[in-house]
Amino acid sequence: MKSKELALLEKYYGYKSFRKGQEDIISTIVNGSDVLAIMPTGGGKSICYQIPALIFEGLTIVISPLISLMKDQVDALKDMGIQGELINSSISAIEENKVINNIKEGKCKILYIAPERLESSSFLNVISNCNISQIAIDEAHCISQWGHDFRTSYTKVSGFIRLLKKRPIITAFTATASEEVREDIVRLLNLNNPKIFITGFDRENLFINVIKSGDKKSYLHNYISNNKEASGVIYAATRKEVNNICEELCTKGYSATKYHAGLSENDRKKNQEDFIYDRVNLMVATNAFGMGIDKPNIRFVIHYNMPKNIEGYYQEIGRAGRDGEKSECILLFSPQDVQIQKYLIEQSIENIERKNNQYNKLNQMTDFVYSNECYRKYILDCFGEIYDHNCDNCSNCLNEGELVDKTIDAQKVLSCIYRMKHKFGTTMLIDVLRGSKNKKVIQFSFDELSTYGIMKDYSSLELKNFINTLVSHRYISLVTGTYPVLGLNEKSMKVLKSEEKVTFKEFKVEKKAREDNELFTILKEIRKEISIENGVPPYVIFGDATLKEMTIKYPLNKEQMLNISGVGEVKYKKYGEVFENAIRTFVDENNIEVSTHTKETEDAKIESIHLDVTTNKELFNKLNDIRCEFAKKEHTIPKMIISQNSLKEISGRYPTNLDQLKDITGMGPKKISSYGEKIISSVNEYILSNSQEVNWTEKKKKKVIIDGESREIHEIALDMLKEGKEMTLISDETEVSISTILGYVTDYIKEFGEVQFNLNLDEFYNEEEETLIVNSCEKLGYDKVSAIKKELPSYIKYEAIRAVILKKYFLRDN
């Protein structure tokens, strides 16, 4: 039998189960205890106080500083048939009186107010006579002066609670709070023996990407060009930067708007609504925008400048992927970002203690950018959450991009700084390196230096970006002041003495934040029309994740539609048939077979020749950690220990002894001897601790299909090449060497005689290597790859040999 809480969740919200932590938090509140809940942005905080509000007899008051969030939340509540209201500065006196009357007549279940409303005596007179069952404080970190977003209005909350005749249950929620801030929340709100929940700060669906090199403007425009249809937020540090970026994007024909404190209230409101209602795709904003934006389909957040603290950064990237879909968070860093943030702190009217605290937080943020460890691990450590492995979903973990040796160019720059006596900034350094004849260069006799004009092949912008990259990797010190100057340090000297190499990753732009199919586009259009008719944001109708599930399962009746996550009884009655009809039309027009009988028959047929395996992600991660430990001990890369697919197969088949492990693809006697005991021990431990049901099936002659992927590895690699993906990315994802992939391409051309790939082969060898390889091929024959490798110097890699062979002997006529 379903609990009352779960029944309400399914009826109103359309979800079949609670997210992590929600059920425990809700049960604790319903049982009458105060609560402090730390939940990640997008973790479903509002449900945690809304469901108790539906169970309690009296009124629930939600205190929030976020006017935009109040409207979104109340719109969503009313759309579900729940009596919700709001009082804040955005409504008129007539509208406020109407809300007050609804409260008096018991026609309001959940009331949202701004903390400033607690200073209104007329409001206090009305509310003090109501049966208040719960007061929920959202963004509770705002009460602490040590939080990143302290608001004095929040100090009124505890006094308001004391004025009430009967103390209600007090619940506090926030996404970002250090231990110090959590203690402040409990103390300043006078929470009564509260149960504290920390459901975890991690947002696994967010890819964290920090880029410390290249031209920010070019990266931004390339990225937006490749993600025109996606919804995204671009944060900049100043109003001027916001205006400039927005103007450039609009000039290029992109759908963009802006938000900052310099705009009028009406302009901010209009621009925000245009973004929320999907009338524009891009929002360019200062950090004044975003808190309380409940738009779930934001696919990317780009920070054009580094934020001033980790808390603010994590809250801002938390705007992305609130629907649980994969989303990207990109931070474009340059050393000047630190100076901008220092200037903003200095210009603020905060007291010295607060300013010092902000400087400490800025240092922590700067350390994050420079960190070489897992970015997610660094952030979670800041919030006191133990994360003892790499996430494999950030740019540090994935180490994407080919490393390029920039040592000689770096030595030229450092040598010039040394000869200029460390007293000048970037502009003068660029002029000297590019051989400028401006007055100051001649005045200081810099045209007589050996480094004068040594980097003419760089444009001014390219050289500026390269110098900034050297600063951001700490090869150059930036001495701050009115006019920041460049200096050398211990790391610089190692480079100058050739004791340390300078290697940077190539500047990469992801092609797509998300791929959408035809039916998804159709359903989005229907959703947009309904949203306009009802005057609510599109995501209030159904979220992207719900629409996406519809495109996979093709629900054609009420029973099937109610099995879609996000479709409950209430929403089905309002919108279900419209979407059913659209799906039915699409299925008919495209001759799609969705018969259950057909699918079962097909499954039975496949089962006789295939062994289907579904990866258990939790167990896979544990096994991958073991693989990485072995790789570290043996000074090799993880894929050389055990392949990724073998780990997936183990995680989905659960071998419990060494004999069963022999039945796993790729697990030969040597691997079993070296790693088998540890793997089997980990599998058995997982089965025991999770009460996992195991039905071992021998593979015999069946082909193993993992997670529905039936293609061979060479087919996957070739298809990825046809999609335009880079060779290094394909190598990382498939765990196949670049040399092997080039071999696949060669075999493909031999068989089909045509080239369907855009190949950049020059990146795998230099001119000297090409000459040596061609000479060897002419002597031994280009099909004797192993013999060619033996004859060549050891530093020439297999991938260089295969690339040259492809270019010279297979692509000559193409």
d(CA 440, CA 431): 10
Per residue in 62-83, pLDDT (tens digit) is 998 877 678 878 888 988 889 9
pLDDT bin (cut points 50, 70, 90) of residue 134 is very high
Tell me: pLDDT of 403 over 80.
Answer: no
Superfamily grouping for domain 4-198 = P-loop containing nucleotide triphosphate hydrolases (3.40.50.300)
Q: Does residue 505 sit in helix, strand or coil? A: strand
CATH number of 206-398: 3.40.50.300
Rounded alpha-carbon distances, angstroms, from residue 755 to 39, 716, 806, 810: 51, 16, 11, 9
Q: Phi first, then psi: what are they for 690, rounded to 5°?
A: -110, 5
- Close Cβ partners of 471 (under 8 Å, ≥ 6 residues apart): 335, 477, 478, 486
∠ CA(311), CA(316), CA(318), 5° rounding? 95
pTM of the model: 0.54
Nearest to 232 by CA among 275, 293, 292, 202: 275
Tell me: pLDDT of 17 over 60.
Answer: yes
DSSP character at residue 809: I
Higher pLDDT, 72 or 185: 185
Domain residue spans in the chain?
A: 4-198, 206-398, 403-505, 607-706, 713-810
pLDDT bin (cut points 50, 70, 90) of residue 207 is very high
Q: Does residue 565 sit in helix, strand or coil? A: coil
Tell me: pLDDT of 619 over 80.
Answer: yes
pLDDT bin (cut points 50, 70, 90) of residue 604 is very low
- Close Cβ partners of 766 (under 8 Å, ≥ 6 residues apart): none
Question: How close are the terminal C-alpha atoms of the chain, in Å?
Answer: 67
Q: Give mean pLDDT, residues 548-565.
A: 87
The percent of residues in the chain predicted with pLDDT above 90, rounded, is 28
Q: How many CB atoms lie within 10 A of CB 82?
A: 17
Higher pLDDT, 783 or 146: 783
Q: What is the structure's pLDDT at 606?
A: 38
Topology alike, domains 4-198 and 607-706? no
Least confident of 97-106, 137-146, 202-211, 276-285: 137-146
Per residue in 270-297, pLDDT (tens digit) is 998 899 888 999 999 988 675 556 788 8
Tell me: pLDDT of 25 over 80.
Answer: yes
Q: Phi first, then psi: what are they for 643, rounded to 5°?
A: -70, 155
Q: What is the structure's pLDDT at 608?
A: 45
pLDDT bin (cut points 50, 70, 90) of residue 299 is very high
Tell me: pLDDT of 605 over 50.
Answer: no
Rounded alpha-carbon distances, angstroms, from residue 198 to 59, 143, 312, 655: 26, 18, 19, 35
Beta carbons of 655 and 680 less than 8 angstroms apart: yes
Sheet with 110-113, side-by-side order of all strands: 84-87, 110-113, 59-63, 132-137, 169-174, 35-38, 195-198
Q: What is the structure's pLDDT at 599?
A: 41
d(CA 396, CA 369): 10
pLDDT bin (cut points 50, 70, 90) of residue 600 is very low
Beta carbons of 476 and 414 less than 8 angstroms apart: yes
Per residue in 407-435, pLDDT (tens digit) is 999 999 999 999 998 678 888 999 999 99
CATH number of 403-505: 1.10.10.10
Class of domain 607-706: mainly alpha
Rounded alpha-carbon distances, angstroms, from residue 328 to 297, 501, 520, 720: 12, 31, 20, 20
d(CA 569, CA 262): 44
Q: What is the structure's pLDDT at 595?
A: 52
- Pairing type for strands 110-113 and 84-87 reads parallel
Query: Tokens 């039936």 — which residue?
Result: 710
The percent of residues in the chain predicted with pLDDT above 70, rounded, is 92
Per residue in 494-536, pLDDT (tens digit) is 999 999 998 876 555 554 555 567 888 899 889 988 988 888 8
Per residue in 78-121, pLDDT (tens digit) is 888 899 999 988 788 888 889 999 988 888 999 999 888 888 88
Per residue in 718-763, pLDDT (tens digit) is 878 877 888 888 888 888 888 888 888 887 777 666 566 778 888 8
558 alpha carbon, distance to own chain's centre:
35
Beta carbons of 339 and 218 less than 8 angstroms apart: no
Per residue in 237-274, pLDDT (tens digit) is 889 999 999 999 998 889 999 998 888 888 988 998 89
